[in-house]
Each structure stands twice: as structure tokens, then as C-alpha cells.
Amino acid sequence: MRKGKILSLNAFENSGRIEDENEQEIAFCLKDLNGVINVDDNVLFEIELTSHGLIATKIIVC
């Protein structure tokens, strides 16, 4: 799993962005979360390649 930090959350677009340890920004979908998450939370996550590019999945707050 990769480590990162929540950069932004956008409830209107149902999305957010994570910055990983390599300073790469990765998008994620809010509907895939199980619980509450906030900007600046440290997280663990996996990455999947989709038709829209890289997407963070299986996000866990640490």
C-alpha cells in the first residue's frame, strides 16, 4: 500500500485528491470511502489504472 495525505475533498463532484510520498497527486471517489475523512488526514491506499487515469482505492485513515 502507498502512503499519502488528503489534499482536497469536493462533495459537489464526489471526488478528492491525495498526494503520495513522491508528491504525485492521485484522484479518488468519495463514494468508495468507508467512514469519515478530512483534508490533511494521513492515509494508506492502493492505486488502480482506469480509463480516466490513476485512481486511489481501498483508502484507510492512519
Ranges of each domain in the chain: 2-61
CA 56 to the chain's CA centroid: 5
**pLDDT at position 52:** 87
Asked whether the beta carbons of 44 and 62 are under 8 A apart, the reply is: yes
Tell me which amino acid residue 12 is: F
**Rounded Cα–Cα distance for residues 1 and 60 (Å):** 10
Closest CA to 46 of 33, 57, 60, 62: 57
* Residue pLDDT, tens place only, 37-52: 999 999 999 999 999 8
- Is pTM beyond 0.85? Reply is yes
Dihedrals phi, psi of 32, to nearest 5 degrees: -85, -5
**Domain range 2-61, its CATH number among 2.40.50.140, 2.30.30.90, 3.40.50.360, 3.40.50.300:** 2.40.50.140
